[in-house]
Amino acid sequence: MCLFTAFAENLGQKATTYSVDQDARLQLKAIMAEKIQSRDVERYQKHQIAVLKSRLHNFGDLGLTTNTSYKSELRDLAFTVPKDFKDANGTTVAKRGTVIRPLERVILQNGLIFIDGTDQAQINYAVRRANAEHLKIVLTKGSPYELRIKYKNSPFRGGKSIPFYFDQDGSIIKTLHLSYALDILTVPTTLSQRGTKLFVETGVKI
């Protein structure tokens, strides 16, 4: 570029001056704008990385309280179809008012145990139960990422690591509430299938 070529070729010649043509001005302006933009992009990328790291270490808190007093109940999961549902061909597959009991049609491969992932006592309880039963450990607070690292070499169902999950945005809990009027209000809470019903346990089973 002419501006920088002239500068390089005459470095040290104090008495000589050179005019800057219009093309050089535009090039310099473009270069400066690019540098500013690249710094903005770099700052944005660093910010996004920091946000991502923060989320890996802190997934939030769904606001459930801890209650270790044990009780259990069998719940009949029933969903009433709010309107007629049709397939792509226009055939009605479910009529309004039809009561659907999903556990009469499917077998759950795994139950769920909801815990506070920042409470070591609940973590120990969940690991013990999940190792003996078909349960997935779902956090309502804490970081599944950190727990997976912490327990990556721990024996679990014949393997060497323990999987942890997080109920992102409380989607599982919301679905249970909206579809089946089942409220998960405290932790630990364990859900598992018993025949065609859902077995709900709250607190710590001794």
Q: Residues 179, 72: contact at Cβ < 8 Å? A: no
Percent of the chain at pLDDT > 70 equals 81
* Pair (50, 92) in one structural domain: no
48 has a pLDDT exceeding 70: no
* Pair (42, 70) in one structural domain: no
The CA-atom distances, in angstroms, between 153 and each of 149, 150, 162 are 8, 8, 8
* Pair (101, 158) in one structural domain: yes
Domain C-terminal end among 57, 75, 100:
57
Domain C-terminal end among 16, 39, 57:
57
Task: Write down the mean pLDDT value for the chain.
Answer: 83
pLDDT at 26: 76
User: Average pLDDT in the 194-201 region?
Assistant: 95
Q: How confident is the model at residue 51 (pLDDT cuts 50, 70, 90)?
A: low
* Pair (28, 130) in one structural domain: no
* Pair (85, 46) in one structural domain: no
Query: Full-prediction pTM beyond 0.75?
Result: no
* Pair (41, 95) in one structural domain: no
Better pLDDT: 120 or 20: 120
DSSP state of 9: H
Specify the range with the lowest mean pLDDT, choosing from 28-42, 86-100, 105-119, 161-175: 28-42
* Pair (105, 147) in one structural domain: yes
* Pair (81, 139) in one structural domain: yes
Range of the domain at 44: 2-57
* Pair (43, 107) in one structural domain: no
Q: How many domains does the chain have?
A: 2
Better pLDDT: 115 or 16: 115
Q: Tens of pLDDT along 119-172?
A: 999 999 999 999 999 999 999 999 999 999 999 999 999 888 999 999 999 999
pLDDT at 59: 81
* Pair (92, 165) in one structural domain: yes
* Pair (88, 186) in one structural domain: yes
* Pair (84, 138) in one structural domain: yes
Domain C-terminal end among 29, 57, 85:
57
In the chain, the DSSP E strands lie at 65-66, 71-75, 79-80, 85-86, 92-94, 99-100, 111-116, 135-141, 164-166, 186-187, 189-194, 197-202
pLDDT at 50: 64
**Distance from C-alpha of 84 to C-alpha of 82, rounded to nearest angstrom:** 7
User: Average pLDDT in the 31-58 region?
Assistant: 68
